[in-house]
Amino acid sequence: MPTILIIGAGLSGLTAARELTRQGHTVTLLDKGRGIGGRLATRRLGNGRADHGAQYFSAQSPEFHALTQEMSQAGVVHEWHLEQSDPAGFRHPRWVGSEGMNSIAKYLAQGLDVQTECTVTRIAPAKTGWTLTTTEQDNTRIFSADVLLITVPAPQALALCDASGLALAEADKAALEAIHYAPCLAVMLQLNGPSQLPEPGGLKQTDGDDQHSPVAWLADNAQKGISPNQTTVTLHASHAFSQAHLDDPDQQALIPLLTADVTHYIPADSIVDRQIHRWRYSNAIKRHPTPFLSAQAHAPLLFGGDGFGNGNVEGAFLSGLAMGKRVQGLKSKV
């Protein structure tokens, strides 16, 4: 049975690894992060938690619905009733990780071989597959496998291929270049009391491109049910604000520009701690039409993630699942 390496232990990579492990393959996931989950990101703030990447997800496909039900029964996710405040905006159920969105990644990673703090810096063709070089500080490691799945955002995948001197076929390169992501600046606030956000604690302020407010989204993580002992609030800057300030050298200086706009929800004197995170790649706004790309190469090489297919959390899951099933179909050819 072919061995598999997966670059990226976000939802897409974890889902592919689960599917391939279930089929009996030997799978290793490599991720540059200190933890797993990628944009399923939850941070500790005082005695509380704040999700600063994905805020919630929907599960409309039968496959993701089944996993969501399994995770709900295991206490890993719960429903967030956003339709209470915006029935038109939230027509179907929205779900969240019960201890933050990262708990979904932790649940899925159980039993998998995940190597963290492993930045893949080079991809090289090997006789029967691929050899990857990972670098962390002074530590260089080599991994080899028959099949390679790349689940990092497409611009990062292209940069990695480029840095490796790996020439992709023109059509594959063009397909990856056509995928685009919006940036997002995320602020996490620890409060000394409740916020003034109305129930259920999640509020879209703009459609993302509207310039009238620099804050597009607010979430009270206590009301959301992921931070019971401490109120924390997540703010996402609008697309326009994030784009304009993405490369500002002093990111901390952006926090007051954002909080000043929402003092009616978050009184300035209630903020006791604040952090900002820059997402250069948040949501995939231009995506490849199919759930993954099978590249023309001497050995199986698949590109996937939320830039392929439906996008968002559910699209990342479906991409990972589709890649897992495709590798099963490759068995006889490797």
Ligand X SMILES: Cc1cc2nc3c(=O)[nH]c(=O)nc-3n(C[C@H](O)[C@H](O)[C@H](O)COP(=O)(O)OP(=O)(O)OC[C@H]3O[C@@H](n4cnc5c(N)ncnc54)[C@H](O)[C@@H]3O)c2cc1C
Return the CA Rg of the chain.
20
Quote the longest CA-to-CA distance of the chain.
64
Integer Cα distance of 31 and 34 in angstroms: 8
Among 99, 146, 261, 306, binds ligand X (CB under 6 A): 306
- Both structure tokens of 11: 């939802």
Q: CA dihedral in degrees (45, 185, 314, 211; nearest 10)?
A: 130
Residue 304: strand pairing partners: 292
The answer to whether residue 161 forms part of the interface with ligand X (CB under 6 A) is no
What binding mask, one character per residue, do residues 56-85 give for ligand X by CB under 6 A, x or -?
xx----------------------------
What binding mask, one character per residue, do residues 108-147 give for ligand X by CB under 6 A, x or -?
----------xxx---------------------------
The answer to whether residue 45 forms part of the interface with ligand X (CB under 6 A) is no
- 153 alpha carbon, distance to own chain's centre: 9
Among 3, 5, 6, 10, binds ligand X (CB under 6 A): 10
The answer to whether residue 152 forms part of the interface with ligand X (CB under 6 A) is yes
Among 231, 282, 295, 322, binds ligand X (CB under 6 A): 282
DSSP strands (E only) in 192-270: 202-204, 215-220, 232-237
With vertex at residue 159, the alpha carbon angle to CA 153 and CA 164, rounded to the nearest 5 degrees, is 125
The answer to whether residue 93 forms part of the interface with ligand X (CB under 6 A) is no
Among 2, 48, 53, 214, binds ligand X (CB under 6 A): 53
* Residue 164, C-beta contacts closer than 8 angstroms, at least 6 positions apart: 121, 122, 123, 124
What binding mask, one character per residue, do residues 11-40 give for ligand X by CB under 6 A, x or -?
xxx----------------xxxx----xxx
- 107 alpha carbon, distance to own chain's centre: 15
What binding mask, one character per residue, do residues 241-280 give for ligand X by CB under 6 A, x or -?
--------------------------------------x-
Interface residues toward ligand X, by CB under 6 A? 7-13, 30-33, 38-40, 53-57, 118-120, 151-153, 156, 160, 184, 186, 236, 279, 282-283, 305-306, 312-313, 316
